[in-house]
């Protein structure tokens, strides 16, 4: 996999941690700050209390129409006004991973409308999905979102809609970390 990134929780970093809550399963040790940096073999890792690693990857479930819809609406990360962020690491259950690809897609979109719901919140919410399962990490996914303070309540609304879907019945560990640029 390419484009690996490390999310390092510790005492100092670009992002100040506003809150860190276990939504389901075990949480993570509370820390003051988070640094996000690319992983390179020759790069020394800064000291950290915990480090989660994920890699950008190809899409698994998205249809051509959905890709077109997403590209038309989504904004890149690092926008000047987007001073708030959320890091939400997620692990899905064995039952999820035992399903076939078409069964997972049906739960994800036809039953849960994940993309359709998410599209309602673009372009306000910037997003990036990192895959971690194949790296042998404790979480399957690291999800990252950036938004301005005026869109913080919309982000909470998005989360409550997604957490109420059939897809989330397969989530066995989820930690909700909120951050602010220092
Ligand atoms: C901001 C609006 C959002 C949009 C437009 C969106 C869209 C998507 C899309 C299109 C995928 C499928 C990628 C693929 O084809 O492989 C995806 C996957 C995923 N999203 Fe979202 N999403 C949004 C918000 C969220 C939020 C708030 C969370 C977490 C709380 C989340 C968690 C995930 C996870 C864990 C996956 C991977 C699912 C899997 O492969 O089993 N998403 N999202």
Question: Ligand 1 pocket: which of 105, 118, 154 to mutate (most atoms <8 Å of CB)?
Answer: 118
Please tell me the distance from the alpha carbon of residue 180 to that of residue 32, in angstroms, as a whole number. Answer: 11
Going from the Cα of 114 to the center of ligand 1, the distance in angstroms, rounded, reads: 7
pLDDT of residue 2: 63
Question: Ligand 1 pocket: which of 52, 82, 114 to mutate (most atoms <8 Å of CB)?
Answer: 114
Strand partners, 146: 85, 126
Pocket of ligand 1 (CB under 6 A): 59-62, 70, 88, 90, 92, 114-115, 118-119, 121-122, 125, 127, 129, 141, 143, 158-159, 162
Q: Which of 155, 15, 148, 179 is nearest to 81 (CA)?
A: 148
DSSP 107: I
HEC string of 118-142 equals: HHCCCCCCEEEEEECHHHCCCCCEE
Please tell me the distance from the alpha carbon of residue 58 to that of residue 130, in angstroms, as a whole number. Answer: 10
Helix or strand or coil: residue 172? strand
Given a contact cutoff of 8 angstroms between Cβ atoms, the answer to whether 182 and 32 are in contact is no
Ligand 1: which residue has its CA nearest to atom 27? 159
pTM of structure? 0.97
Q: Please calculate the CA angle 142-174-159 and round it to the nearest 5 degrees.
A: 85
Given a contact cutoff of 8 angstroms between Cβ atoms, the answer to whether 175 and 138 are in contact is no
Going from the Cα of 29 to the center of ligand 1, the distance in angstroms, rounded, reads: 25
Given a contact cutoff of 8 angstroms between Cβ atoms, the answer to whether 83 and 181 are in contact is yes
What does the CA dihedral 98, 54, 8, 173 come to, rounded to 10 degrees?
-20
Each residue's pLDDT expressed in tens, for the chain with a length of 182 residues: 569 999 999 999 999 999 999 999 999 999 999 999 999 877 777 789 999 999 999 999 999 999 999 999 999 999 999 999 999 999 999 999 999 999 999 999 999 999 999 999 999 999 999 999 999 999 999 999 999 999 999 999 999 999 999 999 999 999 999 999 99
Tally DSSP H helices, then E strands, for the chain.
5, 8
- For residue 102, the tally of other CB atoms under 10 A from its CB is 8
Give the nearest ligand 1 atom to 60 CA.
Answer: 16
């Amino acid at each position: 996999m390419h484009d690996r990134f490390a999310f390092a929780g510790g005492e100092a970093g670009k992002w100040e941690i506003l809150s860190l809550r276990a939504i389901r399963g075990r949480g993570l040790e509370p820390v003051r700050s988070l640094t996000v940096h690319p992983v390179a073999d020759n790069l020394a890792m800064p000291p950290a209390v915990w480090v989660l690693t994920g890699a950008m990857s190809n899409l698994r479930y998205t249809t051509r129409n959905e890709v077109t819809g997403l590209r038309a609406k989504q904004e890149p990360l690092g926008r000047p006004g987007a001073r708030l962020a959320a890091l939400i690491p997620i692990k899905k259950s064995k039952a999820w991973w035992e399903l076939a690809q078409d069964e997972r897609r049906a739960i994800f979109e036809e039953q849960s409308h994940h993309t359709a719901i998410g599209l309602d919140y673009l372009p306000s919410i910037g997003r990036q999905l990192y895959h971690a399962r194949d790296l042998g990490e404790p979480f399957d996914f690291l999800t990252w979102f950036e938004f301005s303070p005026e869109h913080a309540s919309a982000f909470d609304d998005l989360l409550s809609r997604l957490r109420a879907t059939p897809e989330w019945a397969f989530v066995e560990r989820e930690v909700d970390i909120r951050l602010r640029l220092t």
